[in-house]
Structure 1
C-alpha cells in the first residue's frame, strides 16, 4: 500500500455527541485507529506513523476551528468528491458517530452528484448502503425524494442567474436551465441539509478537486449561509491533509482574497 493510501487510511474514531461543538470540549472522547492501525503504519513508515499521531490525530482533529462533526462532513465530502472509496466506510461511520444524521449523509451524497459528478456519488452510494444496512437505518430515516422545499431567495436567485448568463452567454442554454432547475431551485432548497452545510460540502468539493474558478462565488455564499471566516480557513487546512498540499495552496489564496474583500 502506498504512503498516500496509508495516510488516507490512518483515521480515528472519535466518540462524541452532536451537541458538543469542539473536540477540545470532549475530554472523555476516545481515539482509536481504524482499518490501518498505528502499529501497521509504523511497520512500513515510522515517520508516517509519527505524523499520523502528532499531526493528524493529536493535531488536526483537535483544532477547535471546526467541530469534529464538521471535520467529518468535510472529510466525507473530500473522499466522495475524489472518488476515494477505500476508506469512505470508516469516515461515514465516523460522521454518523459524530452527529451527522442519516438524512444529512444521504443529502451530502445527493448534493455532490451535482458538484463532483454522478459516478462519484453513485460509487459512494454503494458504501453508504452497506453502512445503513449494518446500522439498521431504514427508509423512514432517509430524506423524501420530493419534500416540501425551503423558500427561494428571489433576489439572490436573480443575481445568480445574471452571473450564469454572464459566464455562459448563449453557448450552453440547457446547462443554464439545468443549473436553475434542478440545482438551485430544487437541490439547494431541500430541507434535510442546512444551507450552511450545503455550502460547506460545495466549497470542500471544489477545493478537493482543485476547481477554484467557482470557489469565490460559493465561498461568499457559504459565509452568507453562516460559515465563519475561521471555519472557512480551517477547511483549507483539512484539505491539505486529505486532498494534498497543492490543492490547499490553490484554494488558500482564493479564500484569503474573499475574506479580505468582505472585511473592507
Structure 2
C-alpha cells in the first residue's frame, strides 16, 4: 500500500460527526495527522501502524482498535505480530486492555480468514538469551526490590525476561517499539530509560525514536509526549558519549 492510499484509508475512518461538530479538528486530522504525520519517511508506515495500535490498546480506545488492526495488516504487520503485540502488552498495560484488544481484533481476523495456523505458537522455541545482560538486570531488580515484593521480582524474571521477551513471533526491536509506545501513551516516562535504550540496542535509530514521539503526540496527547521528551533526550545524549 502506498503512503497516499494509506492516508486516504485512515481519513476514511474519521467519523462524519467530527466534521459536523468540529470542522477544525477534521482539518487538522486530514491535513496534519493523516496527510503529513502518517506519511513522514522518518518512520515506516508499518511501524507507525504498530505504534498506533499499541497506543490505542494502552489507552483502552476499543472503538478505534478494529479499524487500526485492519490498517496495520494493510501496512504490512502480520496477524502473528498483532497477536503477539496483544500478548506482550498484556504485561505492560494490563490484562483488561489485552482482552479488549483481542475482542476488537477477532472480527477483523475472521473477515480476513486468519486461522490458528497464522498465529504464534503457545510453546515456541525461544530466542537466545543475553545471559550477561539478564544477570545484570536481575541482580539490580532483586537487590533493589526483593524485600518489597519477591513475587514481582520472580515473575518479572521468569515470565517476562526469560520467556515473553524471547518469543520469536515479534522481533526484539518491535517488542521494544510497542513497549516504549505503551509507556508514553500511559504517561509512564519514568520506565522509559531502560526500554528506550533496549529499543536502540535492538536496532531502533534515534531518528525513528524521535519520529515515534512526534507521531504519538496525536494519539497520547502533547503533555504525555513532553513528559517523555526529557527521558529521550537523556538517553540520546548518554548514547552519543
TM-score, normalised on structure 1?
0.87
Instruction: Please state if 1:58 is matched with 2:32.
Output: no
8 Å CA contact 2:7, 2:39 repeated in 1: no
Query: By percentage of residues, which structure has more helix?
Result: 2
Instruction: Please state if 1:132 is matched with 2:112.
Output: no
Instruction: Please state if 1:151 is matched with 2:114.
Output: no
Q: Deviations over 1:115-156 (max 9, x none)?
A: 111111011111111111111100010000011101111011
8 Å CA contact 2:7, 2:34 repeated in 1: no
Q: Which runs of structure 2 are paired with 1:67-86 in the superposition (5 Å)?
A: 67-86=44-63
8 Å CA contact 1:34, 1:90 repeated in 2: no
Distance in 1 separating the partners of 2:192 and 2:7: 35
Aligned residue for 1:31, secondary structure, equals helix
Instruction: Please state if 1:216 is matched with 2:180.
Output: no
Indicate the RMSD between aligned Cα atoms, in angstroms.
1.4
Instruction: Please state if 1:169 is matched with 2:150.
Output: no
Alignment CA distance shift 1:243-1:90 (3 Å): same
**197, 207, 213: which one pairs with 1:230?**
207
**76, 98, 101: which one pairs with 2:75?**
98
1:49 maps to 26
Q: Gaps (5+ residues) in structure 2? A: none
Q: Give the aligned length.
A: 240
8 Å CA contact 1:150, 1:190 repeated in 2: yes
Alignment CA distance shift 1:160-1:31 (3 Å): same
Distance in 2 separating the partners of 1:79 and 1:236: 15
In the TM superposition, residue 163 of structure 1 has moved relative to its aligned partner by 2.3
Aligned residue for 1:86, secondary structure, equals helix
2:12 maps to 34
Distance in 2 separating the partners of 1:29 and 1:118: 30
In the TM superposition, residue 29 of structure 1 has moved relative to its aligned partner by 5.7
Aligned residue for 1:59, secondary structure, equals helix
Distance in 2 separating the partners of 1:166 and 1:28: 52
Aligned residue for 2:50, secondary structure, equals helix
Alignment CA distance shift 1:44-1:68 (3 Å): same
In the TM superposition, residue 167 of structure 1 has moved relative to its aligned partner by 3.4
